[in-house]
Amino acid sequence: MLTKTDLKLIGELMDDKLGSQLEPIKKDIMQIRKGQKIIVNFFDHEYLELRKGIELIEAHLNLHSKN
């Protein structure tokens, strides 16, 4: 029969094994999140630039935006 010490050692071994297997996955997830942040920031900046241009055109043509 397994003792509490045996179960504790098995648990620690499993934690070590899983931790080492999950490390590359964690790195991949961090890279994906970084890429998403870069993409969102790029398109947000592009949107703001387009919005600024539209507002200038609307002002020049004396149009009122719905915002």
Read off the pLDDT of residues 5-43 as tens digits, 9 standing for 90 and up.
999 999 888 888 888 888 999 999 999 999 999 999 999
Identify the band that residue 67 occupies on the pLDDT scale cut at 50, 70 and 90.
low
Q: Is there a domain that residue 9 lies in?
A: no
Domains held by the chain: number: 1
Q: Is there a domain that residue 45 lies in?
A: yes
Q: Is there a domain that residue 56 lies in?
A: yes
By residue range, what is the domain housing residue 38? 29-62
36, 35, 62, 66: which is closest to 51 by C-alpha? 66
Q: Is there a domain that residue 7 lies in?
A: no
20, 1, 22, 2: which is closest to 10 by C-alpha? 2
